Amino acid sequence: MGRRDGSRRSGAGVPVTIGLVAATAGVSRATVSRVFNGNPSVAPELAERVRATAAELGYAPSPVARSLALGRTGVIAMLVPDLGNPTFQGVLNGLTRAASDQGYRLLVADSQEDLDEEAVLAVEARRRCDGLVLCAPRMPTERLRELAPKLRPLVLVNRELPDADVPSVTIDFEVGIRDLVAHLRGLGHRRIAYLAGPDTSMSNQIRVRALQVAVAGTVEVVELACGVSFADGHAAADHVIDHDVTAVIAYNDLVAFGALSRLHELGVRVPAQISIVGFDDIPFARYTTPALTTASVPIGDVGPGAWSRLWALMNDGAPEADLRLRPRLEVRGSTGPAPTA
């Protein structure tokens, strides 16, 4: 059985310890320790001799002992607002793969869209790991600014914190909204409903501002309170048909799915009577009936982008410049020409 210090017993019953590896390889215990801790100060040929000796003896360092020696846990954390959203699942998949290449594991915390829980969970998660990737769209900017020093090394996703020296990976929501509006305007739509996300959501605030700029008086936008889920979109669809609009921009794809479902139940034809667009391009978007037109986010780049910046911070390096990813307009069957009077 392995011991806490990583020792094993050889076939002859002799304990295989770091001392035995050092003696067999003709080096000091400190050299063996440096090799297994990844210290680059050990000459390559010497490091190879130590590893070969350890493999021959069947020695493997204890993860617990290694963590204590390095002062690291080998774990990073990510806080998301809703694990049920496929967008965040995509981010987590990319982050997990990128971190594992450096031998790191991922701890995930879900605030379940609870504003009060975001700050509490962020602090608790950071205490248990070496770095934090934070997606906290509801947290007030001043609160986030206060917390940031306690959370470092820290990388933000879908959020920027100006003048705080915290790297970020964001989506260019302005470009995505602009392309959606241009597409609908090109189809003749002049009165559009926007199914809004939570008022406290930073990404929703950016979308609203982008809409105001994009329409520039050429399109009338009716903003309807909604939310972030399928159920929210389903409930909001009843209000859509009361406002004499010809198109709908949903806060995200899940909201668009809900609205599509309810409009179908009401006998409203999409896109013949109302066009609908979403945002994100989650995996199910192309399989709805009709398939959903949306702003396609390169979600696979978010996790690796966050990891590369966090890894630099954890190793006292300078992270790359903030990454802002541009969505791509994906036109499918849920949009069509505006119906004539």
Contact 328, 295 (CB under 8 A): yes
Q: Is residue 137 part of a domain?
A: yes
Same domain? For 79 and 147 the reply is yes
Count of CB atoms situated within 10 Å of the CB of 341 = 3
Domain that holds residue 216: 173-298
Same domain? For 167 and 178 the reply is no
Same domain? For 104 and 246 the reply is no
- The pLDDT of residue 71: 59
Same domain? For 61 and 125 the reply is no
- The pLDDT of residue 5: 45
Q: Which of 25-34, 87-96, 332-341 has the lowest mean pLDDT?
A: 25-34
- The pLDDT of residue 340: 85
Candidates 75, 195, 197, 167; CA nearest to 126 is 75
Q: Which helix (H) or strand (E) holds 88?
A: helix 86-100
- The pLDDT of residue 13: 52
Same domain? For 253 and 191 the reply is yes
Q: 133: which strand partners?
A: 78, 155
- The pLDDT of residue 2: 42
Confidence of residue 34 (pLDDT cuts 50, 70, 90): confident
Measured distance CA(316)–CA(135) in Å, rounded: 23
Q: What is the CATH number of the domain that holds 15?
A: 1.10.260.40
Per-residue pLDDT tens over the stretch 49-70: 988 998 888 887 665 555 545 5
Same domain? For 198 and 290 the reply is yes
Q: Is residue 27 part of a domain?
A: yes
Q: Is residue 339 part of a domain?
A: no
Per-residue pLDDT tens over the stretch 274-313: 999 999 999 999 999 999 999 999 999 999 999 999 999 9
Confidence of residue 327 (pLDDT cuts 50, 70, 90): very high
Q: Is residue 156 part of a domain?
A: yes
Q: Is residue 270 part of a domain?
A: yes
- The pLDDT of residue 31: 87
Per-residue pLDDT tens over the stretch 150-187: 999 999 999 999 888 999 999 999 999 999 999 999 99
Q: Is residue 134 part of a domain?
A: yes
Confidence of residue 147 (pLDDT cuts 50, 70, 90): very high
For the chain, the domain total comes to 3
- Whether the pLDDT of residue 8 is over 70: the answer is no
Q: Is residue 28 part of a domain?
A: yes
- The pLDDT of residue 253: 98
Same domain? For 146 and 229 the reply is no
Q: What is the CATH number of the domain that holds 183?
A: 3.40.50.2300
Same domain? For 241 and 294 the reply is yes
Confidence of residue 7 (pLDDT cuts 50, 70, 90): very low
Q: Is residue 80 part of a domain?
A: yes
- Whether the pLDDT of residue 79 is over 90: the answer is yes
Measured distance CA(189)–CA(181) in Å, rounded: 9
